[in-house]
Amino acid sequence: MSGLLGTYAPLWSDVNLVLQLVILAALGGGAVIVKRRQLVQHGYVMAACVALNTVSIFLIMVPVALGLLGGQQLTQLTGLTALHAAAGVAVQAAAVYLVAVWGFRKPGPTCLRYKRWMRALAAAWALEAALGVLIYVMLYV
């Protein structure tokens, strides 16, 4: 075992796992912030989470997924990876859209209009993170 976390994972996969857990914790913190009615701060935390996740997707996740999916037979791992990739695109697109709609404005009707979408997106993001951890464990542990 040579990974940063004592696994067989490459360094960047370990770094990505830690980053995803930090992002997930920040999403939880964002929920606390919004309950305190600090909506502007909530927006900045969510924008930072979306930006960090976007960088992580393009620099780490896409190359790993392409390597797993490139020309292999369909296995449980490749099936989960395909599901994670497809759902991840939808979740990330929705997150980018919500941050773009907010556009660093003061809270108002726009934020409140998307409240249900934000809650659903938070749940979907958490499920995606769990699926990503499962794939990590299947690959490297």
Confirm whether 2 is domain-assigned.
no
Q: Which of 5-19, 77-91, 100-114, 118-132 has the lowest mean pLDDT?
A: 100-114
- Residue 3 located in a structural domain: no
14 CB-near residues (< 8 Å, 6+ apart): 3, 4, 5, 7
In a domain, 5, yes or no: no
Q: 95 in a domain, yes or no?
A: yes
Structure tokens at 123: 């749940």
- The answer as to whether 57 is a domain residue is yes
Specify the number of domains making up the chain. Answer: 1
Residue 30 lies in a domain: yes
Q: How many CB atoms lie within 10 A of CB 83?
A: 13
Query: Per the structure block, which two tokens stand in for 30?
Result: 């964002």
Arithmetic mean of pLDDT over the chain: 88
Please check whether residue 117 lies inside any domain of the structure: yes
Give CA–CA dist 128/136, Å, rounded. 12
> Do 115 and 123 contact (CB within 8 A), yes or no?
no
Span 61-99, pLDDT tens digits: 999 888 888 866 778 888 898 899 999 999 999 999 988
pLDDT at 110 > cutoff 70: no
How far apart are alpha carbons 50 and 80 in whole angstroms? 23
Name which residue leads in pLDDT, 48 or 69: 48
Where in the sequence is the domain holding 21, given as residue range(s)? 11-140
- 66 part of a folded domain: yes
Cα distances from 27 to residues 20, 46, 50, 67, 105, in angstroms, run 10, 7, 10, 29, 20
